[in-house]
């Protein structure tokens, strides 16, 4: 399966891009870096927060079944290194 900019697919790349580059979301995401299963907990928090964030501005759902959750967890953990 071909990669997309070093990620498993477009959806994973797009979520990673937004989590790292949308400043309010980035600030929230950094708080989840040390949690177990950080991405799964982060997306729930983003949905329930005042932001009501469920998809990127490009229309990729935080719940897309194609997401590489393991890679997103690793990215989140590296955000605090």
Residue 3 lies in a domain: no
Residue-wise pLDDT for 59-68, tens only, equals 999 999 999 9
How much is the pLDDT for 1? 59
Domain total in the chain:
1
Which three-class secondary structure state does DSSP give residue 61? strand
Instruction: Give the helix/strand (H/E) hosting 28.
Output: helix 23-31
Contact between residue 36 and residue 42 where contact means Cβ atoms under 8 Å apart: no
Residue 2 lies in a domain: no
Residue-wise pLDDT for 31-73, tens only, equals 998 889 999 999 999 999 888 999 999 999 999 999 999 999 9
Residue 1 lies in a domain: no
| pTM: predicted TM-score of the whole model, two decimal places | 0.91
Which residue range(s) make up the domain with 53? 10-78
Instruction: Give the helix/strand (H/E) hosting 43.
Output: helix 38-48
Q: How many CA atoms lie within 13 A of 46 on its CB side?
A: 26
């Amino acid at each position: 399966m071909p990669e997309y900019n070093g990620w498993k697919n477009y959806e994973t790349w797009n979520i990673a891009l937004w989590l790292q580059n949308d400043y309010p979301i980035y600030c929230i995401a950094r708080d989840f870096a040390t949690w177990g299963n950080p991405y799964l907990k982060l997306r729930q928090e983003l949905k329930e927060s005042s932001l009501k964030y469920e998809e990127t501005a490009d229309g990729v759902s935080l719940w897309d079944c194609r997401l590489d959750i393991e890679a997103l967890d690793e990215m989140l953990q590296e955000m605090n290194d």
